[in-house]
Amino acid sequence: MLNCEIHGALDLRLAERPAEPLAPTQVRVAVKAVGICGSDLHYYRHGRVGDFVIRAPLTPGHEASGQVIEVGAQVSSVKPGDRVALNPSRTCGVCRFCRAGASNHCENVHFFGSASRWPHMQGAMREQVVVEATQCLAVPDALSFERAAFGEPLAVALHAVQEAGSLLGKTVMVVGAGPIGALILMAAKLAGASRLIAVDIVDETLAACTRVGATRTINAATEPDALQALAADKGQVDASFEVSGHYDGLAHCIRSTRPRGTIVQVGTLGGNSEGCPFNQVMVKSLHLVGSFRFVDEYAWAVDYLSRGLLDVSPLLTEAVPVARVHDAFALAADRHRAMKVLVTF
């Protein structure tokens, strides 16, 4: 079976690997489309994501869809031929967090394409994967494999919006308007937000946000005055989402969010925190909350996509055949050209 493997920084290889065995509760899926996410890009470019270092070949990819080939003896939820979206998260269901309805903090989670554990958890960027039946959600024929692969990033966005509380009638700002930021805008609109402001430093991604419902875009690099105006009179924004992964982005959120408003941290912050006005969190009684992965939102995301309640097509840059996987990663790394790039099989 054809496997994409990252051996280290800028060392991505295609290799043939034997098919995996199938347990009675499992499903063998022919992978059809896999989105390239920021963490996949980090593994590819640097051989690591934060403290998670690649110590053995890692198959990336956690935004996947495919078609069922074979099911284990105990599986009745899907059958061969079914088109499925793949939940990358296999949780234990019995730890204290799973039992409390917070399986995104499962102590025994296996998550596609992550070097956070040893041995590494292999991802979905390969010809076939074997997953638990509970990870397969059937999707209708009308939903393309490419759009079905958006289930995971959309689930992340829906969870972030859940963490923000009610957005009905609210002014929402998203700082960092890549694919996750754009999906958060769409989810916030769905949740009733009335004004949707996208902030980024790349005009092309801001244009994509306009196509999915942003009512206003601000380029933080070229329109500092517009950003400053949002901070006037203790802040003009009710709820903000930090998705850029920079302390500057969090600083914008803290300055622009009005007293008693909410900030959701979605990005993994890097760089220097000096100058970030953390004391304003206290002075303005802000609610600063984190959002990590998702729980039930994966099923919601697939349902929204399946029923056409959300159209992610404007975010789909290109579906690249696996033989050109290196081109796909190069394209995905270029924020001026790419929102979401997928690898197809």
Give contact residues for Zn ion (rule: CB under 5 A): 91-92, 95, 98, 106
φ and ψ of 201, to 5 deg = -115, 5
43 or 294, CB closer to Zn ion? 294
Nearest Cα residue to 54 out of 8, 3, 2:
8
174 closest CA partner among 243, 123, 96: 243
Of 67 and 134, which has the nearer Cβ to Zn ion?
A: 134
For Zn ion, which is the closer residue by CB, 106 or 149? 106
Q: Least Å distance between CB 66 and Zn ion?
A: 25
| Beta carbon nearer to Zn ion, 87 or 91 | 91
Q: Based on CB atoms, which residue is closest to Zn ion, 97 or 269?
A: 97
Q: How far is CA 302 from the centre of its chain?
A: 13
Number of residues in the chain: 345
Backbone angles phi, psi at 94, to 5 degrees: -125, -15
Least spacing, CB of residue 102 vs Zn ion, in Å:
9
- Strand pairing category for 26-35 and 128-132: antiparallel
Measured from the CB of residue 117, what is the shortest distance to Zn ion in angstroms? 14
Q: Cβ 252 to Zn ion, closest distance in Å?
A: 35
Minimum CB separation from Zn ion for residue 25, in Å? 16
Residue 29, φ and ψ in degrees, nearest 5: -120, 130
Question: What's the sign of the alpha-carbon dihedral 214, 342, 291, 55?
Answer: negative
Residue 89 vs 205, nearer CB to Zn ion: 89
β pairing state of 52-53 and 48-49: antiparallel
Tell me how far, at minimum, the Cβ of 293 lies from Zn ion, in Å: 13
Beta bridge partners of 67: 30, 83
